[in-house]
Homo-oligomer: A and B are copies of this chain.
Amino acid sequence: MPADFALIPDGSVTTPRGFTAAAAHAGLKSDGAPDVALLVSATSCATAGVFTRNVLRAAPVAYDVDLLAERPGRIRAVAMNARVANACTGAPGLAAARAMAQAAEQAAGLPARTALVLSTGVIGVPLPLEQIEGGLRAAAGSLAADGGLHAARAIMTTDTRPKHCAVRFETPAGMITVGGIAKGAGMIHPDMATLLAVLTTDAAGEPATLQPLLRRVADRSFNAISVDGDTSTNDSVLLLANGASGVDPSRDGAVWKTFEDAVQEVARALALAIVTDGEGASKVLEIQVAGAVSEAAAREVGRAIARSTLVKTAIYGGDPNWGRVLAAAGNAGVTLAVERLSLQAAAADDQWLTLASGGATANPDASTARDIFRQKTIRLRIDLGLGRAEAVVWTCDLTPDYVRINADYTS
């Protein structure tokens, strides 16, 4: 198990030293709320990125992938906007992403090709570049060490709450802080649909070691949550390490392990905040998959359960219809031995009730089962009986409100 970290109150991307941020209203959101944000590091950052696997990746994703391939050790800023995704916008969209990055660099007085861009919102609409440029100039004029919270608000779309956190830990060489912000409420699924997350740290690092670390962390956090099974064109998770702490965690195996745990804790907290704030969500379902031949297989089974609308509506209704859970597992595309499958459920109190074993009903007490499924947080534990690998996946219930929210998003 990872180490325990205490979350820093109001922690965010600007809690690690050397990062400032600000937000501005550029006229994209009709309610006057901030819709553009800028994050700046005082020095160059070693940067890692994990992006959508959707074939139709948006222009900002294409721009960032290209920039990170070229200058992964030279990143200074991240420019963000909500309301327009700049996806399915063709060559003009790519030019707009480049122009948005240049606007951020100019506004913050940074060298060329040092700013990444993140966009989220409606697909197929051209980026309103002039407005965004104005917003970035305004943001650059108000960069502050507590601006991360404002940035977290600016990237909200259907989110009802800003998502931000930070943790801190001591090492023999000094203190390291890791922070993050994220957005995402609907269209969240393995491979991070319409999910933007920016993680920052004042640790020193190298892109070559941060990249695999971020991939592992993302698989166990952002890629382990599902709201509606859709994967967007814009998903991006960034990790920027500016070295302002003077501590390089990679010099000590134990410190490196704690550093990865800290990044994992920030990512996990943001991912859980996204699930809890899933569009229309009223409940959270934690799916523990054990006894798999590999962590990847365990995660696939968890994802199959997490994306089943029948499971998610049963969770909403407090209906212990656990057969749907096993049926969803059977659709995961993972080899299973039915006679070795067992399924348990619990609420927060760790009183596990066995629902099925040997792939068949365990005839659980109906009222106990119903009590568990009526809780706000429901945990399922499915043991495949095939190996020792495990994974945990989180999802929320599917509610009538989800449908209402998504029925008229563009209008």
Which residues of A are at the interface with B, using a C-beta cutoff of 8 A? 54-57, 85, 87-93, 122-126, 186-187, 228-233, 307-310, 313-314, 316-324, 326-332, 334-336, 338-339, 341, 355-356, 358-361, 398-400, 402-404, 406-411
Contact = CB atoms under 8 A, between A and B. Distances in A.
Contacts of A233: 323, 326-327, 330
**Residue of A55, A93, A314 with most chain B CB atoms under a 10 A cut-off:** A55
Nearest to A339: B90
A125 B361 contact: yes
B408 A317 contact: yes
Contacts of A310: 186-187, 228, 230, 406
Q: Which of A57, A92, A319, A360: most chain B CB closer than 10 A? A: A360
Contact of A402 (B93, B313, B358): B313
22 contacts: A54-B327, A54-B330, A56-B326, A56-B327, A87-B323, A88-B326, A90-B358, A122-B323, A123-B323, A123-B324, A124-B323, A124-B361, A233-B327, A233-B330, A313-B403, A313-B407, A314-B409, A317-B406, A319-B409, A319-B410, A320-B410, A399-B403
Given A56-B359, A93-B360, A124-B356, A328 B230 contact: yes
A314 B406 contact: yes
Contacts of A332: 55
Contact of A88 (B88, B313, B360, B398): B360
Contacts of A402: 309, 313, 403
A359 to B, nearest CB: 6
A319 to B, nearest CB: 5
Nearest to A187: B310
Given A230-B309, A310-B187, A338-B56, A327 B87 contact: yes
User: Per DSSP, are chain A's interface residues mostly helix, strand or loop, or mixed?
Assistant: loop
A329 B87 CA distance: 14
Contact of A230 (B124, B331, B334, B408): B331
Most buried by B among A327, A334, A339, A360: A327
A125 B363 CA distance: 8
Copies in the complex: 2
A330 B408 contact: no
Contacts of A399: 403
Given A323-B122, A331-B231, A55 B336 contact: yes
A255 B91 CA distance: 52
A407 B229 CA distance: 18
A373 to B, nearest CB: 10
Given A310-B228, A324-B123, A55 B338 contact: yes
Contacts of A360: 88-93, 124
Given A124-B355, A186-B310, A317-B407, 14 more contacts: A55-B334, A91-B360, A92-B360, A123-B321, A123-B322, A123-B326, A124-B356, A124-B360, A187-B310, A229-B307, A229-B309, A309-B406, A319-B408, A400-B400
Contacts of A122: 321, 323
A406 B313 contact: yes
- Of residues A87, A355, A403, which shows the largest number of chain B Cβ atoms within 10 Å of its Cβ? A403
A216 to B, nearest CB: 23
Contacts of A317: 406-409, 411
A309 B90 CA distance: 25
B230 A327 contact: yes
Given A124-B356, A230-B331, A327-B56, A319 B361 contact: no
A400 B280 CA distance: 11
Contacts of A358: 90
A398 B399 CA distance: 11
Contacts of A229: 229, 307-309
Nearest to A406: B313
Contacts of A54: 327, 330-331
A101 to B, nearest CB: 20
